[in-house]
C-alpha cells in the first residue's frame, strides 16, 4: 500500500515539536527542583511554556474548542515531554506537595499551565483523596470547554477505581445545570476501561456506568451527546451485551417519540457493536434527526426539574 504524503501543516508541526522537545524535557527537570515552592513553580512553568508556544497551533485550538481562554499554543507532545521531566521528582514528592502545586496550577489563567495539574492530581489522589476530590470538583465546575473536561476525566476515572464509592460523584453530576459537568460523566465512563488492563475490564460490568448514561440520553447539548456515545463505545469493552440492550431500548424510544438527540447518540455508537445489530438499529432510526429547538428529554433533566419545582412550592413566602 502506498503511504499518503504528509501534509505541509503536519510537516511543520513535526518539525516544531522536534526542535523544541529537548527544551520541554529540560523545563520539566527545572520545574522538578521547585516542587516544594509552589509560587516559584507555577511562575517558572508559565514562562517556560510560553517559550514553547506555537501561534499556529494556538489558532487551531481556539477553533476546535470554543470557550477556551488564555491559550498559549503548546503542542501535546511538548506538554508530555515537560511531564516526563517532572515524573521522577513527582514520584518522590509527598502528596501534600503535589496538592499544593495542583492548587496553584489550577488558579493560573494560562490554559496549558492549568493542564499541568493532572499528574499532580493523580499523585495526590491515593494519599490525600478528600482534598484532591475537592479540587477536582472545582476544576470541573469551572470548565468552559471540552479539552479541560476530557483531561480531567482521567483523574476522575482513577479516583473512582481507587475508591469505587466515588461513583456517587458522577451520580450527582447527571443533574447538574452545567453542560460541562454533565459531559464529565460521559467522558469519565469512556476513560475508565482504559485505566485498567484489558483482562480486568469485565470486572467493571457491575458498575453503574450504563445507568448513568441511560439517565443522560436525550440531553439536548451536543457536547454531552458526544461524550455519551464515546462512553458507550468504550463500555463495549466491559459489557457488550449491556450496551446492546441499552441501544435497543433507546432506539425504540427515539423512534416512538421522534427524539433526534437520543437517536444521534445511538447512531454514533453503532460502529462499536456487531454489524447485524448496527444495521437493524440504523434502519429503525431512519429520518429521525436532531433539531436545535428540541427539548431536553433525559430522565436526569426531568428529575432535576421536578426537584427544583418541589423546592419552589415548598419555600416560605417572601415578606411584602
Give residue-wise pLDDT tens across range 246-298. 999 999 999 999 999 999 999 999 999 999 999 999 999 999 999 988 999 99
pLDDT recorded at residue 6: 79
70 CB neighbour count, 10 Å cutoff: 11
Q: Nearest to residue 81, comparing CAs of 160, 17, 168, 130?
A: 17
- What lies within 8 Å, CB to CB, of 190 at 6+ separation is 153, 227, 230, 231, 233, 234, 235
Indicate the pTM of the whole model: 0.92
CA dihedral 104, 110, 113, 114 (to 10 degrees): 60
List the chain domain ranges. 21-142, 164-314
In terms of Cα–Cα distance, which of 63, 58, 52, 59 is closest to 16? 52
Would you state the pLDDT for residue 5?
73
Check if the beta carbon of residue 54 is closer than 8 Å to that of residue 75.
yes
Instruction: Please state, in angstroms and rounded to a whole number, the distance separating the CA atoms of residues 67 and 272.
Output: 30
Instruction: Return the closest-CA partner of residue 135 out of 121, 114, 153.
Output: 121
Residue 6 DSSP code = P
Which residues are CB-contacts of 243 (< 8 A; sequence separation ≥ 6)? 210, 232, 235, 236, 269, 272, 273
At 222-236, the pLDDT tens digits run 999 999 999 999 999
* pLDDT value of position 284: 97
Q: How many helices (H) and strands (E) does the chain have?
A: 17, 0
Query: What pLDDT is attached to residue 318?
Result: 52
Question: What pLDDT is recorded for position 112?
Answer: 97
| pLDDT given at position 9 | 85
**What does the block give as the cell for 212?**
448513568
DSSP letter assigned to residue 291 = -
Cα–Cα distance, 306 to 254 (Å, whole number): 22
pLDDT (0 to 100) of residue 311: 56
The dihedral of CA 179, 180, 183, 188: what is its sign? negative
CA–CA dist 311, 170 (Å, integer)? 23
* CA separation for the pair 252, 43 (Å, rounded): 55
Cell 514562562 belongs to residue: 47
The residue whose grid cell reads 443522560 is: 216
- According to the model, what pLDDT value does residue 295 have? 93
Q: In the chain, which stretches have pLDDT less than 70? A: 1-4, 307-320
* Confidence at residue 320, expressed as pLDDT on a 0 to 100 scale: 38
- Separation in Å, CA 180 to CA 2, 186, 232: 42, 10, 18
Amino acid at each position: 500500500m502506498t503511504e499518503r504524503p504528509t501534509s505541509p501543516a503536519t510537516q511543520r508541526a513535526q518539525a516544531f515539536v522536534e526542535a523544541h522537545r529537548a527544551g520541554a524535557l529540560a523545563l520539566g527537570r527545572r520545574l522538578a527542583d521547585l516542587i516544594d515552592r509552589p509560587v516559584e513553580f507555577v511562575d517558572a512553568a508559565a514562562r517556560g511554556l510560553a517559550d514553547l508556544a506555537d501561534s499556529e497551533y494556538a489558532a487551531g485550538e481556539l477553533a476546535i474548542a470554543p470557550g477556551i481562554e488564555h491559550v498559549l499554543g503548546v503542542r501535546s507532545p511538548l506538554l508530555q515531554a515537560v511531564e516526563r521531566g517532572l515524573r521522577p521528582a513527582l514520584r518522590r514528592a509527598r502528596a501534600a506537595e503535589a496538592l499544593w502545586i495542583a492548587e496553584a496550577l489550577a488558579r493560573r489563567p494560562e490554559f496549558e499551565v492549568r493542564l499541568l495539574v493532572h499528574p499532580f492530581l493523580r499523585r495526590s489522589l491515593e494519599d490525600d483523596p478528600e482534598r484532591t476530590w475537592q479540587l477536582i470538583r472545582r476544576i470541573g465546575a469551572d470548565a468552559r470547554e471540552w479539552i479541560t473536561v476530557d483531561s480531567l476525566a482521567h483523574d476522575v476515572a482513577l479516583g473512582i477505581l481507587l475508591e469505587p464509592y466515588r461513583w456517587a460523584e458522577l451520580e450527582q453530576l447527571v443533574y447538574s445545570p452545567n453542560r460541562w459537568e454533565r459531559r464529565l460523566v460521559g467522558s469519565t465512563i469512556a476513560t475508565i476501561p482504559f485505566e485498567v488492563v484489558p483482562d480486568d475490564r469485565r470486572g467493571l460490568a457491575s458498575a453503574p456506568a450504563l445507568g448513568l448514561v441511560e439517565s443522560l440520553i436525550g440531553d439536548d447539548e451536543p457536547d454531552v451527546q458526544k461524550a455519551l456515545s464515546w462512553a458507550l463505545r468504550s463500555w463495549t469493552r466491559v459489557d457488550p451485551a449491556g450496551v446492546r440492550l441499552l441501544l435497543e431500548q433507546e432506539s425504540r424510544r427515539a423512534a416512538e417519540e421522534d427524539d433526534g438527540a437520543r437517536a444521534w447518540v445511538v447512531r454514533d455508537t453503532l460502529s462499536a457493536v456487531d454489524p447485524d445489530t448496527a444495521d437493524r438499529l440504523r434502519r429503525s432510526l431512519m429520518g429521525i434527526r436532531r433539531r436545535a429547538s428540541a427539548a431536553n428529554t433525559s430522565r436526569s433533566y426531568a428529575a432535576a426539574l421536578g426537584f427544583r419545582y418541589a423546592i419552589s412550592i415548598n419555600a416560605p413566602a417572601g415578606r411584602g
